[in-house]
Structure 1
């Protein structure tokens, strides 16, 4: 068994050291690694949401689509530069063959570049509502987006929700499972390398008890994207009528 610390990335800062332990298993050799996770999930989620709200209100992110396009392109470049590392960590974490892990890692940059291009085609709708009266409808970001990531294919599933959220101008809070702690740390490290990304626009935490995910879903002003098991979807369904939640259930529980 090897040990390490899984830090969170909140408000442009590494948060740690760990105060509780989680276990990250390498399926192929059966090796276990204990990763400390700083604070409980609810505490980290609350700090991340506060940072995202500050960034949404105080930075140019929601108003400057050129900044968003530039940042998404840079994010794609940085992820592309780390394809080898992502492949290795995904293979060790999931027990997949390296070519399958590489397929996931290589799918990320193109998705980011696609939404970077969409940012520049942002448009509204104008019409003459009545003689001499013009109506102009524009799309505006809502605020903070919550993203709950599953254990399976964590990187590409994260980007499929994060890329459109960032393109739209929202700030984001990402909750990732403790089973993929090493993957999470690498992804958060990639975010830290993106120079054009304003502090607090993307925040991520690792948790083991699901309290952070429940906090995000319960927050009335934080629309959420949840991809996980049917059991997890059922646990969240009480909150669905209260706010916007996108759920993609279906992971097999063993």
Structure 2
């Protein structure tokens, strides 16, 4: 009797593009289904920025994995080859940038449907910033310039996501306002330095690379003048040599 694969997503508050210790990326890879996983970087949100792609390869080539990249602004694969390529990956790692543009380009190329199929088959989907926003029902974004809410996403993760929760001015108050007014559903506020693993839509692990960084669950409601409840989630501290 076959066992259905676990459906897993990871939100990463950092990784190779901002951190030098590699702890969050190693943590994400530790949840891949293979000991030498195929890891595909998807830099759509940055417009397939060459420097970003090279940064990924510099970080992942020395690791025990098979790194690759999926460019879409100069697409090289036809529909059948694209499906075969994505479904062969153990990890799909989505980079940061513009969430709105990312979703539009994915839908134009059918990548949104293929990622959903890969997720159902057990591929670990993960990413930073826009690459974290995209998996949820909605997100907090600066895709339009000013910080605002985006009631759009792939919907693989119930609720909403807010990246850079403590590091960018206005993020915390703006996201809380969106949740308080119902513009966004309750969700997960990711501070830089943290990681969150979801299995079948439920939080199953929260980690941090620094003692100060936290993951928060934010939902509407509260006592007195408060219109939201913000709950810090206990995070396991990552250290070198441990997943």
Comparing both chains, which one has the higher relative contact order based on Cα–Cα distances under 8 Å and sequence gaps of 6 or more? Answer: 1
Q: TM-score, normalised by structure 2?
A: 0.29
Q: TM-score, normalised by structure 1?
A: 0.28
Whose Rg is larger?
Answer: 1
Q: More helix per residue: 1 or 2?
A: 1
